Amino acid sequence: MQTEDRTGFGIGLGYMLGELKFNIYVSKDSQAKVGYRLRRSITWRKKPSLHILPCIQQVLDVASIKYMDTWQQSSDFMKFFYLIPILNKEYPIINAFADSVGYHMWAFVYDNPPPHDYEMFLSWAEAYDSEYESVKQESID
C-alpha cells in the first residue's frame, strides 16, 4: 500500500506558523478620504532558505498562493483568508502562529474594515487600539 508523504507539507506548515508576520499600520495619505490609509502586508520574520521553499509552496498551493517575500495585494490576503481556515480544520493552527497578536489583528481588520468617514474612522481606531491592547495582554498572561 502506498501512502502520501506529508512530511514536506508539515515542515512547510511549521515554518509558516513560526515565521509569518502579519503587519498592519496606518499612514497619512492626503489622497485618502479620511486622510489616513490602512496598509497591510504578510512578510517573513526570517526569510526561508532555498531548501525549504518547496515545503512552503506545498502549503501555499492549497489556496493557489505564489511564494513571495512579502504579500501586499488584497487578492493574496483573500487567498490567505481562504487557506488558514482550511488548514485549521485539519490541523488546529489558529492559535499556533508565533505572531498570534499580528494574526489576530489582521483578522480583526478583515472583519472590521476601517470606515471612510473621518469621525467614524477615529472611533474605529480606538476600537482597534483597545482590541490590540487586550490581545497583547492575553499573549503575555
The DSSP result for 31-59, as a single string, is TSTTSEEEEEEEEESSPPPGGGHHHHHHH
**Quick one: which of 55, 52, 141 has its CA closest to 100?**
141
Residue 70 lies in a domain: yes
The model's confidence at residue 1, banded by pLDDT at 50, 70 and 90, is: very low
Residues 131, 122, 114, 40: is their CA dihedral positive or negative?
Answer: negative
What are the tens digits of pLDDT across the range 108-136?
A: 999 999 998 889 989 999 999 999 999 99
- Top-confidence residue, 23 or 36: 23
pLDDT in tens, 37-79: 889 999 999 999 999 999 999 999 999 999 999 999 999 999 9
CB atoms within 10 A of CB 21: 17
CATH number at residue 41: 3.10.28
State how many domains the chain has.
1
Please indicate, yes or no, if residue 53 is contained in any of the structural domains. Answer: yes
* Nearest Cα to Cα of residue 107 among 126, 65, 135, 87: 135
* 72-110: pLDDT as tens digits: 999 999 999 999 999 999 999 999 999 999 999 999 999
pLDDT of residue 4: 61
Would the CA dihedral through 113, 110, 124, 122 be positive or negative? negative
The reported pLDDT for the residue numbered 32 is: 81
Residue 25 forms part of a structural domain: yes
Task: Specify if 1 maps to a domain.
Answer: no
Per-residue pLDDT reduced to its tens digit, 14-25: 999 999 999 999
Examine residue 2 and state whether it is found in any structural domain, yes or no.
no
Whether residue 76 lies inside any domain: the answer is yes
Q: pLDDT band at 2, cuts 50/70/90?
A: very low
User: Domain residues for 122?
Assistant: 7-140
116 within a domain of the structure (yes/no): yes
